[in-house]
Each structure stands twice: as structure tokens, then as C-alpha cells.
Amino acid sequence: MKIALAQINYHIGNFKNNESRVFDTIEKAKTMGADLVVFAELAVSGYPPRDFLEFDDFIAKCHKSIEKIAGWSNGIGVIIGAPSVNPDKKGKDLYNSAWFIADGKVQSVHHKSLLPNYDVFDEYRYFEPGTDFKTIDFKGKKLAITICEDLWNIGDDLLYRGNPMDELFKQQPDIMINIAASPFHYKQADERKNILLQNVAKYQLPLFYVNHVGAQTELLFDGGSLVINAKGEVCSEMAYFKEDLQVFDTDLLTVCNHSKPKPGKMELIHDALVMGIRNYFTKLGLSKAIIGLSGGIDSAVTAVLAERALGKENVYGVMLPSEFSSDHSVSDAVALARNLGIKHDIIPIEEGTKTVNHTLKPQFDGTSFGIAEENIQARMRGLILMALANKFNYILLNTSNKSEAAVGYGTLYGDMNGGLSVLGDVYKTDVFLMARYINKDEEVIPENSIIKPPSAELRPDQKDSDSLPEYDILDKILYSYIEERQGPKEIIAMGFDKKLVDRVLKMVNTNEYKRYQTPPVLRVSSKAFGMGRRMPIVAKYLAEND
């Protein structure tokens, strides 16, 4: 039997688009001689549809799509993900299902059993777990269909009590097929491959795995669909960050020696962010981005990623020097803009800032220059950028990095403005590495933007290190707390100073209110700010020493 794996970039709720892509893929798979074409989890609706699933009209449109796909299935079998209605009045109203379609009609529907409800996943909010496990007989082969998480309950640290594949294995299947929606983070591909290899080792069956590709707001899907033979050899590792369609003969999987160079961390993050920006704009019907260029490394990296995602004609860089800005801040920003070939302007903020300060003089009289005056400058920059965005239909890209977002080193309604946060899940130390990666072939980002001490330039001779620990220390503490969920005692035991740890963790927790008001953050780590990290604002945990 010949099986086609269809790795497609779907668009949530865009049924016309998704149907068209599925139809074109089915027709192409037929011409490639495929007997069966396999699409990803919830392909019909896009993933994750979230509360759209609570609308009867949305579910009706999903089922209408299934009817259309059935009409296209003459001469080929189709496995595709879509929600299905739970006929039982008990339990949730829907299942997350794999639909098996052939000969012009739906042959069977198979429900996801293990519903992830952690980090970015919230499936138990909508779906009832499947409890009925049946294989499919097709073209002389018995197929065991599972959906994403159904294969992840393996190894020593089990999250669920049951294992769907154990039940299916009792029916002596010939092939495992897993349709998935596995969001990207820079370690995910290795973790995912390891899980799939463990399943092959346990059941001694070949495995066909198909994943989503593309971005859905903050969630990025890297593709990387896999075919693994019964001996645990990878027969194919499909494209990353691109659509792909490949056909495999099940009789030719006995000998596989597939090897693909493993991308480095910076290459993965770079490609993920470029895809994330591009899809955010195209799926919203947008094209143009505006960026505040400070001459520093964060805005420089953001501008490069935007130019690579949208094209130089669609990126506008604006320099907004204050009375405290150094000459090299402007010259470095201009050099970057020229290197990228993007439109750029210089708009000083000093006059506008003086006007605001003059307006507030009666209220500020008798006080000294401080945070309020610094933030007026940042908010003046935000005001100008948003005015340009409104006037000329740009989307402002936020340039704050994860280190700054973690400790609240940013100004609400100022430099924290934006429609999309590009680097909000990238620590400052990794921003430096990203700049080096970008410059690996030629100097795109001016060297001075990389080597000069980071500064907000809101007061004379200001440096980030005046307010924060050095980033190489800060980021290790933040990673331990945010990604590893380690408490202060554990982090101190790693050799960090107690006062420093207490201070950093307090900053993280007490600035939760700021992060609630920031734009969506493109997720590239295992624990990003946003939907995958849910913290109360008014909690007191670590707000003061015990």
C-alpha cells in the first residue's frame, strides 16, 4: 500500500481555504499513486480552534467540509482530523476525531483518548475522551489510528492511566498512523522523535506520523512529519517550517538509512520566528510592519526577521532619538536600515516630551527627575509609532525580549506596545546569539549594535546593568524559574546569591500585570509567556521573603 503524508499550513476557521488545500492535496496524491492520504489533527478546522468549538455553526461547517472531502475520496482513502459530535448526553459535546473516508463516504470515526490539558493545551475544556478502540482494514492492511497525545503516554513518567495503542495492539495491526498538532519549541523535534521511536520499539510496527506546519497566532508548528520502519529506522523526515507531501510504499520500508543534518538552536528559532511573522500577517490579511529602531540589538534582530518574513518593501523603521540618545544609536539604526533596504525615518521625540513635561509641570512641581519622566519618553515613542501605524495601516512589531518581559523592564503603553511580540520568548543572551547567526555570512546587523552595552537611553549614561544583573546571570536564574519551575531554594543551591535570586523572582512575580497587557508572544521555548503560563496577578508568592 502507498501512503501519502500531507503536511499542510491550515488557517483556523477558514473552511474555504482549508477545503481547497485538502482537495488539491488529494488530487495530487492520486496522481502520485497513493492509496491513502493522511492529514493532520483537526485539519478541517485548524488547530487550536479554541472557543470556536462552542458554536454550533462552526461544528456544522466542519461537518460540511467532511461531506465535501467524502465526495473527493473516490479512488483514494483519506484520514483527516476534525471535531465530531458526541451523541451521548453525558460528557462533553464533542470528540477530537480522526475520520476515515473512502469510496465517497465516511467509513469510520476514531476519537482521541488522551486529551492534554497542560501548558498551551486545553483540550479537556472541549472534548470527551474516546474509550472505543478499533483498527481499520484497508487495502489488505490493518491500521491503528491514534491522535497526537495518544502516543505520548509511554516510558516511566506516565501522565495518564490508560494507553490507546495498548488497546489497538491487541487487534494485531500492521501499521501505526498518528495524526498530530505538535507545537514547536526548539527542543520539541528531538523530544517528539524520541517518543515516536519508543512506540516503534515497544510495538515493533512501522509508524506514519503527520504534523501541522505554519503559525496560528503565537503557536508555531514546525512540520517534521516522520516515517519510521518497524526496526526503528527513520525512513523520512519531512520538511521543517514548509508544506510537504510525500508518498511511501509500505513494502519498501524494510531498509531505511535516512539522516538529515540536525539544525542548531538559533537556526530553528530564526526559521520559526520568520514563519510566525509571515503567517500572522498573511492570515490576517495584513502586509506592512513598523518597527522602532533604537540602534540596539533587539530592534535590529526584529527588523531583520521582519524583512525576511515580509520583504523589504513592507518594513518601515523609525528612529526616535531623545535628548539622551547617543549619536551611534541613530547611526547604527540607519546603517541597519540601509543594509536591509527598508524605508526609514528619524523623528526626534524631545519636543513632544518637553510639551508633556510642561503640561504636567504644576503637578510635578517640587519633584525630581525619575521613572515618570523616563517613561514619558518611552510613551512618546509608542505614541508616534502607533500614530504612524494607524495612519498608514502598519502593524507595530514589539521588540522586547524575554528577559525584559520577565522582570518588567519595559514601559506599558510605550516600548511594550505592538500587535505582535517577536522576541518575547527569546532571552537576551539568545538575542546576541541570534544576531551572530544572522551575521554569519555578512554583516547585516552593525557590529556596534551587538557589542555596545544595552541601554534604554532614558537618562544620562544609562545602562541596563544599572537596574538588572548582567544578562548571562539573569537569564540562568530566569530559565531555572520559568522553564524548569524551580523555587528559590533550588536556584540558590545552584550557586546563585540568595539576595539576587530573591530580587529576581520577586521582579518576575510582581510584574505579571504588565505581561497580561502585552501583545501575543511567538512561542519558541517550552514555557513561553502567554496562554501556556497562567499566573495570578494579585498573588503574594515570593513577593516578600519568608
Kindly list the domain boundaries of the chain, sorted by start residue. Answer: 2-253, 268-464
Cβ contacts of residue 385 below 8 Å, gap of 6+? 290, 292, 318, 320, 396, 417
pLDDT score of 546 more than 60: no
* pLDDT category of residue 7 using cuts at 50, 70 and 90: very high
Q: Per-residue pLDDT tens for 283-322?
A: 999 999 999 999 999 999 999 999 999 999 999 999 999 8
Q: Per-residue pLDDT tens for 265-274?
A: 999 999 999 9
- Is 260 in contact with 225 (CB distance < 8 Å)? no
Q: Which of 2, 61, 62, 112 is catalytic?
A: 112
What was the pLDDT predicted at 383?
A: 97
pLDDT score of 434 more than 80: yes
Phi/psi at 369 (5° precision):
-60, 130
The overall average pLDDT reported for the chain is: 95
- Residue 297 to residues 269, 294, 455, 456, 538, Cα–Cα distance (Å): 16, 8, 10, 11, 33
The one-letter amino acid at 57: D
Measured CA to CA, the distance from residue 389 to residue 315 in angstroms comes to 12
Neighbours of 22 (CB within 10 A): 23
CA gyration radius, the chain = 26
> What's the half-sphere exposure (Cβ side, CA atoms, 13 Å) at 13?
13
Q: Is the peptide bond before 48 cis (omega within 30 degrees of 0)?
A: yes
What was the pLDDT predicted at 171?
A: 98
Domain 2-253 superfamily per CATH: Carbon-nitrogen hydrolase (3.60.110.10)
The one-letter amino acid at 46: G
Dihedral sign for Cα atoms in the order 60, 64, 69, 74: positive
What was the pLDDT predicted at 386?
A: 98
3-class DSSP state for residue 374?
Answer: helix
Q: Is 235 considered catalytic here?
A: no
- 333-357 in b/e form (b: 16+ CB < 10 A) is bbbbbebbebebeebebeebbeebe
The H or E element spanning position 222 is: strand 219-222
> Any idea which of 67-76, 355-364, 459-468 has the lowest mean pLDDT?
459-468
For residue 24, is it left (φ>0), alpha (ψ between -120 and 50) or beta?
Answer: alpha
- Is 485 in contact with 506 (CB distance < 8 Å)? no
What was the pLDDT predicted at 543?
A: 55
Strand partners, 244: 7
Report DSSP state, residue 146: E
**Pick among 3.30.70.330, 1.10.3720.10, 3.40.50.620, 3.40.47.10: CATH of 268-464:** 3.40.50.620
Sheet holding 234-237, edge to edge: 136-138, 141-147, 175-179, 207-210, 226-228, 234-237
pLDDT score of 325 more than 90: no
- Residue in the block written with cell 456544522: 60
What was the pLDDT predicted at 326?
A: 73
Q: Global pTM?
A: 0.95
Measured CA to CA, the distance from residue 126 to residue 122 in angstroms comes to 8
The H or E element spanning position 313 is: none
Q: Per-residue pLDDT tens for 138-161?
A: 999 999 999 999 999 998 889 999
Cβ contacts of residue 65 below 8 Å, gap of 6+? 15, 18, 19, 22, 44, 82
Measured CA to CA, the distance from residue 240 to residue 306 in angstroms comes to 19
Q: Which of 61, 123, 128, 148 is catalytic?
A: 148
Measured CA to CA, the distance from residue 223 to residue 54 in angstroms comes to 28
Question: Where in 32-155 does DSSP place strands (E)?
Answer: 36-38, 77-85, 94-102, 105-111, 136-138, 141-147
Looking at the chain, the whole-number percentage of residues with pLDDT higher than 70 is 98
Strand partners, 183: 221
Measured CA to CA, the distance from residue 514 to residue 204 in angstroms comes to 50
Q: Which of 2, 41, 123, 374 is catalytic?
A: 41
**Mean pLDDT in residue range 441-468:** 82
Q: Which of 260, 458, 298 is nearest to 376 (CA)?
A: 458
Q: Is 41 considered catalytic here?
A: yes
pLDDT score of 457 more than 70: no
Question: Where in 254-329 does DSSP place strands (E)?
Answer: 289-292, 315-319
**Mean pLDDT in residue range 107-116:** 98
What was the pLDDT predicted at 262?
A: 83
The distance of Cα 463 from the centroid of its chain, to the nearest Å, equals 31
What was the pLDDT predicted at 254?
A: 84
Q: Is 54 considered catalytic here?
A: no
- Is 229 in contact with 235 (CB distance < 8 Å)? yes
Q: Which of 139, 144, 114, 136 is nearest to 205 (CA)?
A: 144
Measured CA to CA, the distance from residue 532 to residue 183 in angstroms comes to 12
What was the pLDDT predicted at 456?
A: 63
Q: Which of 64, 363, 8, 21 is nearest to 213 (CA)?
A: 8
Looking at the chain, the whole-number percentage of residues with pLDDT higher than 90 is 91
pLDDT score of 545 more than 90: no
pLDDT score of 468 more than 90: no
The H or E element spanning position 544 is: none
**Mean pLDDT in residue range 219-243:** 96
**Mean pLDDT in residue range 400-404:** 97
- The torsion defined by the Cα of 375, 381, 384 and 387, in degrees rounded to 10, comes to -70
> Any idea which of 35-49, 149-163, 453-467, 484-498 has the lowest mean pLDDT?
453-467
- Cell numbers standing for residue 225: 512529519
